[in-house]
Amino acid sequence: MSNTKNITICNTLCNTEILAIFNDHDPALLEQLAQEAQKITRRYFGRTISLYAPLYLSNHCANQCVYCGFHASLKIPRRKLNEQEIEAEYQALAHAGIQSILLLTGESRQHTPPEYLEAALKAAKKYFANIALEVYPLETEEYARLNAAGCDGVTIFQETYDQARYKILHPAGKKSNYAYRYDAPRRIALGGLRQITLGVLLGLADWRQDILALHAQLRSLEKEFPGVDYAISFPRLRGTYDYKEKNYLVSDAELVKIICVTRILFPRIGINLSTRESASFRDRAVHFGVTKISAGSSTAVGGYAGLGASPACPPDRAVLENAPQFAVNDERSVAAVKAMLEKQGFDPVFTDWRCLAA
Ligand code: SF4
């Protein structure tokens, strides 16, 4: 039976009320949340949805996250893109119409030091209007350097806020230091970055508690750094290698609820949805609060320029086909995602700003 009938759906919900909503399976409540979230999203974002693409620069990683296809103990072909290969990837993505990219690496400072990231950022500026990074956590001065090299934003996921689960899931490597990772968004803001994306990997722990903790971290950052643009991603765990834990999986209805409640509590933040989700789920979710979706994604290193794009970029089928970080679920091209949005009455946006100065 619903225990939420006396709760007003608004942005001042307390944690007890949010948990009551999360634990209430009444479809009528979900519908009410969806309508409210849609209303708020239209008010602040109109009918625009931004498009971006992830680009994996490297799959070297020093950590051992037990749920990830890149983790250090797995015997997979490792590779990082060289200068020419990076250029080829940028050209392929820009050709597809992408103007906003997220550059990713596994977490290996040794293989992809800040200098490597800096060079990749500088090269990206020729092709893209908005460039974000998702890499290992850095120091404040390093974030400032990357900012100066053209980085607009950084994505950093805490993965889970359940510290006991965190310890089990991250048994070795620098990532096992929960506090250092938790403090990264502050260092990013202090480094001068104007966009910060936070997130949890849904499926690692009790999602209800993780979402409350994520909201709490966001509230505290908003208070300390009000000038930053914040966004949240809610990737769900997808089948990877040897991680078989099923206890914490999140259903479609639960993910919709998470998106709607987050939108209601945080009317102005960006909400991203990746191609980990199916095409049919994404087609529906864009109505409830999502503001940015990836399109035409490859999660393999060198996945856009294809095989042997140039003599300097030799074919490496093993890397391209066998070792993505996670499986892409929505495999549609950028053009197909754009067409889907237009068909549903949205305005696909490839860049939300452009520097007019030379
Ligand atoms: S989640 Fe990131 S840090 Fe962890 S193993 Fe995968 S690539 Fe490395």
| pLDDT tens-place string over residues 121-130 | 999 999 999 9
Q: Indicate the top mutation candidate among 59, 63, 157 to test ligand 1's pocket, ranked by most ligand atoms within 8 A of CB.
A: 63
pLDDT at 191: 98
CA 69 / ligand 1 centre spacing (Å): 8
Helix H or strand E encompassing 199 = strand 195-200
- The number of CA neighbours under 13 Å toward the Cβ of 139 is 5
Answer yes or no: is pLDDT of 149 > 60: yes
Helix axes 15-22, 252-265, angle to 10 degrees: 150
Could you identify the atom of ligand 1 that is nearest to the CA of residue 72?
5
CA 66 / ligand 1 centre spacing (Å): 9
The CA angle 282-107-172, to the nearest 5 degrees, is: 110
pLDDT at 351: 79
Instruction: Give the contacts of 151 (CB within 8 A, at least 6 positions apart).
Output: 121, 131, 132, 133, 143, 193
pLDDT at 70: 86
CA 345 / ligand 1 centre spacing (Å): 37
- Residue 357 to residues 145, 192, 354: CA-CA distances in angstroms? 21, 20, 9
Could you identify the atom of ligand 1 that is nearest to the CA of residue 69?
6
Answer yes or no: is pLDDT of 347 > 90: yes
pLDDT at 308: 40
DSSP H helices in the chain: 15-22, 27-45, 83-95, 114-124, 140-148, 163-169, 178-182, 184-190, 207-224, 252-265, 279-285, 317-322, 334-343
Q: Which of 69, 66, 248, 73 is nearest to 169 (CA)?
A: 66
Name which residue sits closest to atom 7 of ligand 1, judged by CA.
106
Residue 358 pLDDT grade (very low, low, confident, very high; cuts 50, 70, 90): very low
Ligand 1 environment, Cβ below 6 A: 61, 63, 65, 68, 70-71, 106-107, 175
pLDDT at 6: 86
- The predicted model gives 239-262 an average pLDDT of 86
CA 217 / ligand 1 centre spacing (Å): 22
